[in-house]
């Protein structure tokens, strides 16, 4: 067959492992591309071929195999048979293959695998004779029928497991490896009967039909609910499709000298150096990943099979140097012969990512720039998660494996549906299972943490939880979990039922009864209080982590073009943000200075009826504002502080209309009369708005209530003069909110300029504050060229800009229908969380361009929530903003992501500025 040509316009759907390499993950999927890469490196990979993602997409579009696919699979199978000198289904010496999914991005456990294809009633006997092992042959056959029933025919797996359990109890054995041949043969008959009964179909004896149906099932598994849910969560596009790998079987279940394992070149949980993994003797691959039997530690393989162990170590060293990163692998040993079944750059926890990246720099494998690209802002924010308080005594009820770090407290639930229902009702829950399987995904997403009694660090629960950054403890064997009875029992007899609170520590594997208080993380401690303080309390691994974070954040600072400021409204937050590395305040919301006790002053101003009341209310505000500004300018001395003039949606400051009306009516009915409340009611009625977020806010309020903005400008100016006289270097910037037109801005600027001049003269100081505007309305964005004639800087208020561009009420829509929109794929992430590049983002781009056309070099930043969102930061870097501003805790994340953005941009050559 001609592999290169184009057979009559039909695309090549199938590729042998010898044809590809790791750069072809789009076409061959991650697994297929890596199998090809290992084949190219000469590693011991059982031969096979990959049916491409192109074939999958064509199948999913048409609902059937595209023309030519069946023939190509057939041709490649023949080549494989020729290479192996065996054929599929041969009664004397059968070739057996596995069929495994493998998309562009890893989706552990989400899609399907079928092993041992090629066995039927005749070839099972041939295999028994050839292998000289009847038990092995019949065990392989019952596994095929079981997997075929569950995966290809979609039958409920519990029935098969129940039959297996019954066989074990009949034979009085605990483990399936001890089942005698007769029971395995019985099982084959039982399983075949189940398939006839439940699927109304004979288990296909034609091995080619088995293969075709399995390939089709893998394609279909791309669109199962759990796979879609996983992709939505991980933001993997739905239209990629999966590849299918067909590979000659290597048998880990061929007796004591055989086995299967999963290994990592470093500890993916902590990042510690040294190989790490699980091994299971006399088993097939799925047994390890599913966590069905408890595994041995990889080091124990050294005693069991030293030759294979040495080969494994040697291959792992080669792979790590070749991929220049942590690799995870799946291997099988068949009667002493070592086979590689899979490798990929391994998933890891956030802490491991930082440690491994810097270790590889020290080992001269990667550069610091590359190290920066190996960690993410999401990971850094995970590391800033709290942990349990060490000095509080709490009842340890079990210990499992530290599968995914963090500290989670919640009420126990035993099934996925309850986890989802309770979480939706606002409860924090811990999902407790013997072992999880992919059907539990929704519950895992909903839970605060996951606890299992079976399975290792590489089990489904562990892999998925780590990927989600969710706390998990796995393999807490001393717990007896009774799912049906909704109860778990510790080996000391403590019984925990559904609804009881427990706390799990994903870093130590400990499980505690009740709610354990939590404390902040050492990484957060490092950012807030400095290296010295964080190191003294930490252990060796934590010390290494803190050093790794320190080194990578320092490198990000060196590389980044974007400056990072914080949104802070009080001296405590301002100080914290400075410690976190903020280079100024990008948004000081002055209305936050008037909440709580001070609300009454704004209330008085709003309802003032006479000039005198109005002036008195303003006069009362002035000293309070001045004091606030003095404190903040002192904390932030030498750094810019962007003070936004008041932008209160009025409803936040006024009493609720209905409640007040009822109070007044009740008082009147009792013959009582409260003049102040009555007056307030009239004012609230007068000012009541149906859409306060689109009402009398921001600059509009400043223009309607004369003197309010002037008062604030005066307070800022006087505070700055005061600081200057004390030798300080106050760098205030005045920002006007919710501007839609240049006229609004000019009116405010005129008034402010007058006040600044007055204060400067009266106090004998020089005041040269830039006065700029928020860009948070589409009209402001499109008229940015005009607005820049008056504004000395722009700061994008992407919260309001998102609200007004989409026409979404900030206050209502997230609860009302975002879950439906996310579900239906209208967007993959809330536009309030991550910037909508094509819509809202385009307005940002337009405004920057037009603003700078009028005023070259116009200073531009963003202070909406998006300023701390990793994905959005890359966009803001790309459109040329000068800084992002975010909440103090997100400042380190923003520093790291800004550095990554620069490195990515320069590496991809897209640096057009």
Residues forming the site for Mg ion (CB under 5 A): 776, 797, 800
Does position 587 bind ligand PEP by CB under 6 A? yes
Cα–chain-centroid distance for residue 121? 47
Binding status of residue 798 toward ligand PEP by CB under 6 A = yes
CB closer to ligand PEP, 16 vs 741: 741
Question: Looking at beta carbons only, is 589 or 614 nearer to ligand PEP?
Answer: 589
> Look-up: residue for tokens 């799912």?
483
Q: Tell the smallest beta-carbon distance from residue 587 to Mg ion (Å).
A: 9
Residue 863 binds: one of ligand PEP, Mg ion, none (C-beta under 5 to 8 A by kind):
ligand PEP
The answer to whether residue 128 forms part of the interface with ligand PEP (CB under 6 A) is: no
Q: Give the CA count within 13 Å in the CB-facing half-sphere of 148.
A: 31
Q: Hey, which bits of 499-639 come out as E strands?
A: 501-505, 510-513, 518-519, 563-567, 585-589
Q: Out of 224, 437, 489, 799, name the contact with ligand PEP by CB under 6 A.
A: 799
Q: Taking CB within 5 to 8 Å according to partner kind, which of ligand PEP, Mg ion, none is near residue 403?
A: none
Q: Near ligand PEP by CB under 6 A, which window of 154-162, 441-449, 455-463, 791-799?
A: 791-799
Dihedral pair phi/psi, residue 275, rounded to 5°: -70, 160
Q: Which of 56, 327, 460, 860 is catalytic?
A: 460
**What is the spatial distance between Cα 8 and Cα 901, in angstroms, rounded to a whole number?**
45
CB of 585 to ligand PEP, least distance (A): 12
Let me know if 474 is a catalytic residue: no
Minimum CB separation of residue 862 from ligand PEP in Å reads 8
Are 712 and 646 a contacting pair, CB within 8 Å? yes
By CB under 6 A, name the one of 220, 305, 776, 878 that touches ligand PEP: 776
Closer residue to Mg ion, CB minimum distance, 89 or 648: 648
- Candidates 53-61, 568-576, 751-759, 796-804: pick the segment binding ligand PEP (CB under 6 A): 796-804
Residues 6+ apart with CB under 8 A from 429: 410, 411, 412, 413, 418, 419, 422, 423, 446, 447, 448
* Min CB(630)–ligand PEP separation in Å: 23
Considering the complex, state which of residue 292 and residue 699 has its C-beta at the smaller distance from Mg ion: 699
C-alpha span between 499 and 429 (Å, rounded): 8
3-state DSSP call for residue 262? strand
- Closest CB 606 distance from ligand PEP, rounded Å: 18
857-876 binders of ligand PEP (CB under 6 A): 863-864
- The distance of closest approach from Cβ of residue 589 to Mg ion in the complex, given in angstroms and rounded to an integer, is 9
Closer CB to ligand PEP, 692 or 770, in the complex: 692
DSSP 466-495: HHHT-EEEE--TT-EEETTTTEEE-TT--E
d(CA 208, CA 78): 11
Cα dihedral value 568, 573, 577, 582, nearest 10: 20
> Tokens 């993602």 appear where?
53
Q: Is 797 in the site for ligand PEP (CB under 6 A)?
A: yes
Cα–Cα distance between 568 and 888 in angstroms, integer?
7
411: left (phi over 0), alpha (psi -120 to 50) or beta: beta
Spatial separation of the C-alpha atoms in residues 620 and 604, rounded to whole Å: 10
Smaller CB separation from ligand PEP, 800 or 882: 800
Question: According to the binding rule CB under 6 A, does residue 300 interact with ligand PEP?
Answer: no
Q: Please name the residues in contact with 819: beta carbons below 8 A apart, sequence gap of 6 or more.
A: none
Q: Report whether 898 contacts 877 (CB < 8 A).
A: yes
The helix/strand/coil state of 108 is: coil
Applying CB under 6 A, which part among 96-104, 297-305, 651-659, 797-805 lies near ligand PEP? 797-805
470 touches ligand PEP by CB under 6 A: no
- Select the binding partner of residue 544 from ligand PEP, Mg ion, none (C-beta < 5 to 8 A, by kind): none
**Distance in Å, CB of 588 to ligand PEP, minimum:** 11
800 counts as binding ligand PEP under rule CB under 6 A: yes
# residues near ligand PEP by CB under 6 A: 10
Q: How far apart are CA 7 and CA 703, in angstroms?
A: 74
In the complex, minimum distance from the CB of residue 698 to ligand PEP, in angstroms, rounded to a whole number: 8
- Residue 2 burial (CB < 10 Å; 0-12/13-18/19+)? exposed
The yes or no reply on residue 642 touching ligand PEP (CB under 6 A) is no
String of b and e for 309-321 (b: at least 16 CB within 10 Å)?
A: bebbbebbeebbe
Is residue 327 flagged as an active site residue? no
Report in angstroms how near the CB of residue 878 gets to Mg ion at its nearest: 23
- When the beta carbons of 356 and 699 are compared against Mg ion, the nearer one is 699
Give 511's strand partners.
Answer: 398, 504
The full length of the chain comes to 913
* Nearest 10 degrees: Cα torsion 39, 41, 42, 44: -60
**Which part of the chain contacts ligand PEP (CB under 6 A), choosing from 247-255, 493-501, 623-631, 798-806?**
798-806
Distance CA 564, CA 566 (A): 7
Half-sphere exposure of 277 (CA within 13 A, CB side): 26
CB of 884 to ligand PEP, least distance (A): 12
**Contact partner at residue 103 from Mg ion, ligand PEP, none, CB < 5 to 8 Å by partner kind:** none
- The partner in contact with residue 882, picked from Mg ion, ligand PEP, none with C-beta cut-offs of 5 to 8 angstroms by kind, is none
Q: How far apart are the first and last CA of the chain?
A: 51
Which residue lies nearer to ligand PEP by CB, 277 or 861? Answer: 861
Which of ligand PEP, Mg ion, none does residue 798 bind to, with CB < 5 to 8 Å depending on kind?
ligand PEP
Do 16 and 49 contact (CB within 8 A), yes or no? Answer: yes
| Contacting range for ligand PEP; rule: CB under 6 A; set: 348-356, 616-624, 792-800, 851-859 | 792-800
Closest contact distance (angstroms) between CB of 885 and ligand PEP is 8
At 412 the three-state DSSP class reads strand
- 438 near ligand PEP, judged by CB under 6 A: no
How many angstroms separate the CA atoms of 408 and 431, rounded?
11
Question: Which of ligand PEP, Mg ion, none does residue 328 bind (CB under 5 to 8 Å by kind)?
Answer: none
Q: Smaller CB distance to ligand PEP: residue 284 or 805? A: 805
Report the candidate in 446, 440, 438 with the shortest Cα–Cα distance to residue 420. Answer: 446
User: CA 64, CA 100: separation in Å to the nearest integer?
Assistant: 19
Strand ranges (DSSP E) for 676-721?
Answer: none
- Distance (Å, rounded) from C-alpha 80 to C-alpha 286? 24
Query: Which of Mg ion, ligand PEP, none is residue 216 near (CB under 5 to 8 Å by kind)?
Result: none
Please state, in angstroms and rounded to a whole number, the distance separating the CA atoms of residues 829 and 832: 8
Q: Which residue among 56, 721, 863, 886 is the active-site one?
A: 863
- Taking the least distance from each CB to ligand PEP, the nearer of 134 and 776 is 776
- Residue 587 near which of Mg ion, ligand PEP, none (CB within 5-8 Å, type-dependent): ligand PEP
Return the H-helix or E-strand segment holding 95.
strand 94-95
269 binds ligand PEP (CB under 6 A): no
* From 563, 589, 626, 900, residue interacting with ligand PEP (rule: CB under 6 A): 589
Q: Which residues of 346-366 are buried (b: 16+ CB within 10 A; e: fewer)?
A: bbbbbbbbbbbbbbbbeeeeb
Q: How far is the CB of 798 from ligand PEP (least distance, A)?
A: 5
Q: Among residues 548 and 739, whose Cβ is nearest to Mg ion?
A: 739
Contact string 591-630 vs ligand PEP (x = CB under 6 A): ----------------------------------------
Backbone angles phi, psi at 655, to 5 degrees: -65, 155
Contact status: 772 vs ligand PEP (CB under 6 A): no
Smaller CB separation from Mg ion, 476 or 736: 736
- For ligand PEP, give the closer residue by CB, 416 or 642: 642
* Binding region for ligand PEP (CB under 6 A): 587, 589, 647, 776, 797-800, 863-864
Question: Which residues are annotated as catalytic?
Answer: 460, 863
């Amino acid at each position: 067959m001609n592999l290169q040509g184009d057979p009559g316009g039909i695309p090549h759907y199938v590729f042998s492992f010898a044809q590809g390499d790791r750069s072809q993950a789009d076409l061959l999927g991650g697994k297929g591309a890596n199998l090809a890469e290992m084949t190219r490196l000469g590693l011991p990979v059982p031969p096979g071929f990959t049916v491409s993602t192109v074939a999958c997409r064509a199948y999913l579009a048409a609902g059937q195999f595209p023309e030519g696919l069946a023939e190509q699979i057939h041709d490649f199978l023949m080549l494989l048979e020729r290479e192996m000198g065996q054929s599929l289904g041969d009664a004397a010496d059968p070739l057996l293959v596995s069929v495994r999914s493998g998309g562009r991005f890893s989706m552990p456990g989400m899609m399907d695998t079928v092993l041992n294809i090629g066995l039927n009633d005749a070839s099972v006997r041939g295999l028994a004779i050839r292998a000289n092992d009847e038990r092995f042959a019949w065990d392989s056959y019952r596994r095929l029928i079981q997997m075929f029933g569950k995966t290809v025919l979609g039958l409920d797996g519990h029935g098969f497991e129940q039959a297996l359990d019954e066989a074990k109890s009949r034979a009085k054995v605990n483990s399936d490896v001890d089942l005698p041949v007769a029971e395995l043969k019985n099982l084959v008959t039982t399983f075949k009967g189940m398939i006839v009964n439940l699927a109304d179909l004979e288990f296909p004896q034609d091995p080619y039909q088995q293969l075709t149906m399995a390939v089709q099932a893998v394609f279909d598994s791309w669109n199962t609910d759990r796979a879609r849910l996983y992709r939505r969560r991980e933001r993997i596009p739905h239209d990629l499709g999966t590849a299918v790998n067909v590979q000659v079987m290597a048998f880990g279940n061929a007796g004591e000298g055989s086995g299967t394992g999963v290994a990592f070149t470093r500890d993916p949980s902590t990042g510690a150096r040294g190989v790490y993994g699980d091994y299971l003797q006399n088993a097939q691959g799925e047994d390890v990943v599913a966590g069905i039997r408890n595994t041995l530690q990889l080091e124990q393989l050294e005693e069991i099979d030293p030759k294979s162990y040495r080969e494994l170590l040697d291959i792992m060293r080669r792979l790590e140097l070749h991929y220049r990163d942590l690799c995870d692998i799946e291997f099988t040993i068949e009667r002493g012969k070592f086979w590689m079944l899979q490798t990929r750059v391994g998933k890891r926890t956030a802490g491991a990512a930082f440690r491994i990246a810097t270790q590889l720099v020290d080992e001269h494998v990667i550069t610091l720039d590359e190290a920066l690209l190996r960690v993410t802002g999401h990971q850094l924010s995970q590391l800033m998660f709290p942990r349990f308080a060490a000095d509080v005594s709490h009842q340890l009820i079990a210990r499992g494996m530290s599968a995914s770090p963090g500290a989670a407290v919640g009420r126990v639930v035993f099934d996925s549906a309850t986890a989802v229902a309770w979480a939706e009702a606002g409860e924090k829950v811990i999902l407790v299972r013997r072992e999880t399987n992919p059907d539990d995904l929704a519950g895992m997403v909903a839970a605060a943490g996951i606890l299992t009694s079976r399975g290792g660090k590489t089990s489904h629960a562990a892999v998925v939880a780590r990927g989600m950054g969710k706390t998990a403890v796995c393999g807490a064997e001393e717990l007896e979990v009774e799912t049906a009875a909704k109860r778990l029992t510790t080996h000391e007899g403590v019984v925990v039922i559904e609804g009881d609170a427990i706390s799990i520590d994903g870093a130590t594997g400990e499980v505690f009864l009740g709610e354990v208080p939590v404390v902040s993380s050492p990484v957060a401690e490092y950012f807030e209080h400095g290296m010295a303080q964080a190191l003294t309390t930490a252990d060796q691994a934590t010390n290494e982590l803190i050093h790794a974070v320190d080194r990578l954040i320092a490198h990000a600072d060196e590389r980044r073009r974007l400056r990072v400021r914080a949104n802070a409204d009080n001296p405590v937050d301002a100080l914290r943000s400075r410690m976190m590395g903020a280079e100024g305040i990008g948004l000081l919301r002055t209305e936050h200075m008037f909440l709580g006790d001070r609300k009454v002053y704004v209330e008085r101003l709003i309802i003032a009826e006479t000039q005198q009341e109005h002036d008195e209310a303003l006069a009362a505000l002035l000293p309070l504002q001045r004091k606030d500004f003095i404190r903040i300018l002192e904390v932030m001395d030498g750094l810019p502080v962007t003070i936004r003039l008041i932008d209160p949606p009025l409803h936040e400051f006024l009493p609720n209309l209905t409640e007040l009306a009822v109070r007044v009516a009740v008082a009147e009915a009792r013959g009582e009369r409260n003049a102040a409340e009555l007056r307030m009611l009239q004012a609230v009625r007068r000012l009541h708005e149906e859409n306060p977020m689109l009402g009398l806010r921001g600059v509009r309020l400043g223009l309607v209530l004369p003197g309010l903005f002037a008062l604030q400008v005066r307070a800022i100016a006087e505070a700055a003069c005061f600081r200057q006289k004390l030798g300080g270097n106050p760098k205030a910037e005045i920002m006007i909110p919710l501007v839609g037109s240049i006229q609004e801005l000019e009116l405010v600027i005129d008034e402010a300029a007058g006040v600044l001049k007055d204060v400067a003269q009266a106090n004998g100081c020089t005041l040269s504050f830039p006065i700029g505007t928020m860009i948070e309305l589409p009209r402001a964005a499109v008229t940015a060229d005009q607005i820049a004639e008056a504004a000395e800087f722009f700061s994008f208020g992407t919260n309001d800009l998102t609200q007004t561009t989409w026409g979404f009420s900030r206050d209502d829509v997230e609860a009302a229908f975002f879950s439906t929109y996310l579900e239906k794929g209208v967007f993959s992430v809330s536009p309030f969380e991550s910037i909508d590049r094509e819509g809202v983002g385009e307005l940002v781009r337009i405004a920057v361009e037009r603003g700078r056309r009028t005023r070259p070099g116009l200073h531009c930043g963003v202070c909406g929530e998006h300023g701390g969102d990793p994905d959005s930061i890359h966009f803001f870097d790309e459109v040329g903003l000068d800084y992002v501003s975010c909440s103090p805790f997100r400042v380190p994340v923003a520093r790291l992501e800004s550095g990554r953005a620069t490195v990515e941009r320069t590496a991809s050559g897209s640096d057009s500025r």
